[in-house]
Structure 1
């Protein structure tokens, strides 16, 4: 399909030059501005350049929401295959001399580019007024999003409403950080300016699919307001007294419950706009490469395909970016003899620790440690795959009780020893592969092979079922969503629960929309019937925990949980204990199914925010280093 972003690479390569400071006095492309805006076509190319920084944000190895969530861990400190520095952050590698995954300079260069676009948008004489308004709105969205990305990482930031004039005194380029409340107010105001002039949908999908629409902007605005209301930034006692060099308090000292009301209202407005434009929860059974499959497995495939379906064909996807997910070779176990020989090129070693696998509910829709009918205490004991679980587990194969009687999202999201792995070139359930992760010789022909990683769990949700690793490796492309409707529903449930004194019917409704698609009973019915603490679902505090777990389950491996855990101030608890997996080097079944630590994470209060580069703090005397750094 023809896309707008086909121009970006060549354009940016032509317009970008090296720069020593993210707030240069002279724009790095000032010599080409007259040419860049001489007509509509050249100005459109410049607009695509404004989009380019955002496009690169969808590469998950550079997304802290993915790499620091402890959903997926990587075994090596160094790798020849890709940049693993983001994964290593949970090992305590962050520093202020060269901050890992820093976006400070990158985002300010992108913001400067957006300001140049806004300053010169009147120059092309052949640009129609309606189109100009739309381009201005798109640029304001991008400018707001780049500022917002910085807020999530750094807290209070420098706001660049206008670029510095060419002849400005150098001292005036050393700008101060705004307060956190001022920072959020600025990005929300830009979104409010942008939203009215954005198109409700993309009419010309062949030429423009991927550009910002009104419902995308409304959903992102809602997320911004949720962040402003969340514990990290709403009266966080860890940041009380943090001042700039003029003595201004940069973080709000007191909790403001009204911020949750603003967030809830914005979420509801965004939901209404999304649904008005035809968005709905994905419930489409994929048909390619599927012949004889049970109804149970079909439901699992629907849940797995929510993430791997093409954006153009996914009615739930609010927003995605152009960069595809390029790492399926790390997420799929070796299921055939031929695949084993590809281990050097495709090591299949992205692993999922227990702290993530144990999030998923039982088949009754409650946590495994709360279900009165599920044997939590003996979950590590070995059991034989039975007929009742035949659509999820290999019959007659030894695996642990923890793999039995779990919700469908568990089987859609995870590959594990004894688990059915549909796809990889097999179209019938009867011939579907299963994973043999234990260190044993093949015992049932080419479909039971030694294939392991450091925990014994793979993020199956990140593998398209049509991808095949056998004689060759062919990956069916997909994109990680930036936001989808189920996530927006749960944001609304969270914000509304916090805004009200006690849970309302609407809170339960939006949680249940997501649960019902996963084949689960409503949250109240499930807790009242199966939970050890049935009252948990009836009060605000208990429901808060339920919503957070629901969100982590539903959005697992989508680059959301790491951000959510930060804004909830829960990442420190997740990374406060050793991350565990199975003893994958064990030679017997009993030895394999022994929990062992695989990574000792290091995370403290200071790691919730990124450090500024020491160089920037020295060069700009108005900057104060972030708390605890």
Structure 2
């Protein structure tokens, strides 16, 4: 029976099937010549790469829902010029709606967001994979596995945003009736079960790792698929989707309940098993937590800066040199200049490559631990009440804070991840062309008329904090720029360790094994283990000993270790904690004031707008009109 297939043409990836937005983009009225698309191995391989195309678009940070809506980074919305897509960042200000949803991955009306179209391409590939006569059996098995993974991941991406989605298991027949095209949503449990099934089918036929990195880095491996399976099952087990009472009334028009209202503890058991399987496979193939090895040009490096560079480079190191990186996408992270302060006089006029507008809110800065390894509001040795008072950089802190620089007291005695992740007024910025310990840049962020290093302000950074972690230490921003490219990780081993600790705690509560996996990450970050840190320094010394307390510790640990990597938005949603996080006003320092006493006054920029309904994206109103079998997400 004749099937419905897309026209194959790489040049037209972004514009194919523009007229196919009825329903779910599953029944295009354009048909192409399959004989050409699959006439031989080379053409079929080209089609395989079209299946990967939308996946690569997910690397775009400014249209990544997790990156832009987590509250980790805010972006000014009142600039004269608007060089980036601000849609995602503006959602924190309450712009999401069902008439014209922002970051609309359901309908795929914007470039790179046609996820259902990509699922259909994957189906086309699977239905025609037997046609190329010169395709070897081994390669065919691998390609089928890759495409099944892609189908699974595309469904997973939609599920994290929308909850239950229609499962596009096969392309519809060309003779399909209008009623058949109007598909309905599967239940949440059916959605996760199908995603997991596809991953299980794919894993055995994928290569463990990529051996030919020059030609194939970025293609799917067993380690990637196993790690994604762990994330899928952890998401299915989490409060947003596991017995969430907020969705108890959601149902299809035929009365089918879309969400189970009963909590299922066994889901966490499955998640823990999947995490352990992924970890064992990764370690068996040589993956381990990254440690910075100084190049020859760095002749002297104190331990404090070595820790900073270890943490930074766990994210910014080249994929082929980073033995912690499990998965990244091929496009490089192109926003380093947005995360970099202007630290030279010449960089002030370099507004195109060094706009410096990614701003970290005060609450995110204060989330990082003290150097004792506990939250600053729990550390009995930390002057939390006096954290906004002023203090000068001294000899002991000289590799973190410039000597004699007057800055906030809370910038002192913080964990290494704080100094690796956050750029702040008075803070040392090792790199940017200076590797001499006696001549390092530091950030000067006070006053609208000052200029960077020795005195710099980016008046467009509205908080006075930069996500330093997103900048390679060797990238240079001056009158021009020299950017050391890197790929932002999707999954790295540290995140997998913490996910396993989370799953273990949900299954059995605090255990020695769960402590050991979180402590692996903390040890690399230069911190004492959880038990020692809380027992010795916390005002709540037994917090780690209860399931609820240890859950809080693990959640904060993930937010710190994976800060600014596009992970927190997904985590905070699945935990049902994003509403609480965004209830805190978005604040920064009084950046237009030059005098320290006036600068170090918290200033509210805006109050984020986020309610229960915002945990899931709305389906566009018109899509519901066109397809009468679709139902809207709760509260929209």
For Structure 1 versus Structure 2, the TM-score category normalised by the shorter chain is over 0.9
Q: Which whole-Å CA distance do the structure 1 matches of 2:437 and 2:267 have between them?
A: 50
Classify the secondary structure of the residue corresponding to 1:412.
helix
Q: Which whole-Å CA distance do the structure 1 matches of 2:10 and 2:560 have between them?
A: 36
Asked if 1 retains the 8 angstrom alpha-carbon contact of 2:353 and 2:481, the reply is no
Asked if 2 retains the 8 angstrom alpha-carbon contact of 1:289 and 1:426, the reply is no
In the TM superposition, what whole-angstrom CA distance separates every residue of 1:289-332 from its partner, at most 9, and x where no partner exists? 53433222122111111111111110000000011111112111
Q: Which whole-Å CA distance do the structure 2 matches of 1:568 and 1:489 have between them?
A: 18
- Inter-CA distance 25–473: structure 2 relative to 1 (3 Å threshold): closer
Pick which of 199-208 and 536-545 moved more. 199-208
Q: Which whole-Å CA distance do the structure 2 matches of 1:8 and 1:511 have between them?
A: 47
Q: 5+ unaligned residues in a row in structure 2: which ranges?
A: 1-7, 108-113
- Inter-CA distance 32–369: structure 2 relative to 1 (3 Å threshold): same
Classify the secondary structure of the residue corresponding to 1:193.
helix
Classify the secondary structure of the residue corresponding to 1:597.
strand
1:9 offset after TM fit, Å?
Answer: 5.5
Q: Which whole-Å CA distance do the structure 1 matches of 2:581 and 2:159 have between them?
A: 22
Q: Which whole-Å CA distance do the structure 2 matches of 1:365 and 1:595 have between them?
A: 25
1:478 offset after TM fit, Å?
Answer: 0.8
Partner residue, 1:293: 301
Asked if 1 retains the 8 angstrom alpha-carbon contact of 2:444 and 2:453, the reply is no
Q: Which whole-Å CA distance do the structure 2 matches of 1:154 and 1:14 have between them?
A: 24
Classify the secondary structure of the residue corresponding to 2:159.
helix
Asked if 2 retains the 8 angstrom alpha-carbon contact of 1:111 and 1:160, the reply is yes
Q: Does 1:574 align with 2:552?
A: no
Q: Does 1:237 align with 2:245?
A: yes
Give the alignment partner of residue 131 of structure 1, picking from 136, 139, 155.
Answer: 139
Q: Which whole-Å CA distance do the structure 2 matches of 1:622 and 1:73 have between them?
A: 38
Partner residue, 2:619: 612
Q: Does 1:150 align with 2:158?
A: yes
Q: Does 1:556 align with 2:563?
A: yes
Partner residue, 2:323: 315
Q: Does 1:467 align with 2:481?
A: no
1:347 offset after TM fit, Å?
Answer: 2.0
Q: Which whole-Å CA distance do the structure 1 matches of 2:203 and 2:103 have between them?
A: 30
Partner residue, 2:52: 51
Partner residue, 2:96: 94
Partner residue, 2:34: 33
Partner residue, 2:3: none
Q: Which whole-Å CA distance do the structure 2 matches of 1:359 and 1:58 have between them?
A: 26
Partner residue, 1:523: 530
Partner residue, 1:626: 633
1:449 offset after TM fit, Å?
Answer: 2.6
Q: Which whole-Å CA distance do the structure 2 matches of 1:422 and 1:8 have between them?
A: 46
In the TM superposition, what whole-angstrom CA distance separates every residue of 1:156-201 from its partner, at most 9, and x where no partner exists? 1100111101111121101111110011001000101111111111
Asked if 1 retains the 8 angstrom alpha-carbon contact of 2:447 and 2:592, the reply is yes
Classify the secondary structure of the residue corresponding to 1:94.
coil
Q: Which whole-Å CA distance do the structure 1 matches of 2:173 and 2:30 have between them?
A: 13
Partner residue, 2:105: 103
Alignment of 1:372-383 (within 5 A): 372-383=380-391
Give the alignment partner of residue 340 of structure 1, picking from 327, 341, 348.
Answer: 348
1:599 offset after TM fit, Å?
Answer: 2.1
Classify the secondary structure of the residue corresponding to 2:531.
helix
1:34 offset after TM fit, Å?
Answer: 1.4
1:15 offset after TM fit, Å?
Answer: 6.2
Alignment of 1:156-175 (within 5 A): 156-175=164-183
1:125 offset after TM fit, Å?
Answer: 0.8
Partner residue, 1:4: none
Alignment of 1:326-337 (within 5 A): 326-337=334-345
- Inter-CA distance 329–288: structure 2 relative to 1 (3 Å threshold): farther
Asked if 2 retains the 8 angstrom alpha-carbon contact of 1:97 and 1:615, the reply is yes
Asked if 1 retains the 8 angstrom alpha-carbon contact of 2:441 and 2:453, the reply is no
Partner residue, 1:594: 601
In the TM superposition, what whole-angstrom CA distance separates every residue of 1:554-610 from its partner, at most 9, and x where no partner exists? 000000001100001011011113111111122321110001101221111000000
1:17 offset after TM fit, Å?
Answer: 5.5
Partner residue, 2:276: 268
1:24 offset after TM fit, Å?
Answer: 4.8
Pick which of 336-345 and 372-381 moved more. 336-345
Q: Which whole-Å CA distance do the structure 2 matches of 1:289 and 1:88 have between them?
A: 42
Aligned length: 621
Asked if 1 retains the 8 angstrom alpha-carbon contact of 2:23 and 2:627, the reply is no
In the TM superposition, what whole-angstrom CA distance separates every residue of 1:51-77 from its partner, at most 9, and x where no partner exists? 010010011111111100111100115
Q: Which whole-Å CA distance do the structure 1 matches of 2:475 and 2:215 have between them?
A: 28
Give the alignment partner of residue 546 of structure 1, picking from 553, 564, 577.
Answer: 553
Partner residue, 1:180: 188
1:288 offset after TM fit, Å?
Answer: 6.5
- Inter-CA distance 25–240: structure 2 relative to 1 (3 Å threshold): closer
- Inter-CA distance 26–288: structure 2 relative to 1 (3 Å threshold): farther
Q: Which whole-Å CA distance do the structure 1 matches of 2:585 and 2:450 have between them?
A: 32
Partner residue, 1:324: 332
Partner residue, 1:68: 69
Asked if 2 retains the 8 angstrom alpha-carbon contact of 1:289 and 1:423, the reply is no
1:30 offset after TM fit, Å?
Answer: 2.9
- Inter-CA distance 534–25: structure 2 relative to 1 (3 Å threshold): closer
Q: Which whole-Å CA distance do the structure 1 matches of 2:248 and 2:419 have between them?
A: 44
Classify the secondary structure of the residue corresponding to 1:483.
strand
Alignment of 1:169-568 (within 5 A): 169-287=177-295, 290-343=298-351, 346-439=354-447, 447-452=454-459, 453-500=461-508, 502-568=509-575
Q: Which whole-Å CA distance do the structure 1 matches of 2:276 and 2:47 have between them?
A: 34
Asked if 2 retains the 8 angstrom alpha-carbon contact of 1:8 and 1:52, the reply is no
Classify the secondary structure of the residue corresponding to 1:215.
helix
Q: Which whole-Å CA distance do the structure 1 matches of 2:555 and 2:613 have between them?
A: 23
Asked if 2 retains the 8 angstrom alpha-carbon contact of 1:285 and 1:301, the reply is no
Q: Which whole-Å CA distance do the structure 2 matches of 1:131 and 1:25 have between them?
A: 28
Q: Which whole-Å CA distance do the structure 2 matches of 1:198 and 1:345 have between them?
A: 39
- Inter-CA distance 341–45: structure 2 relative to 1 (3 Å threshold): same
In the TM superposition, what whole-angstrom CA distance separates every residue of 1:121-177 from its partner, at most 9, and x where no partner exists? 010111111111111000000000000111100001100111101111121101111
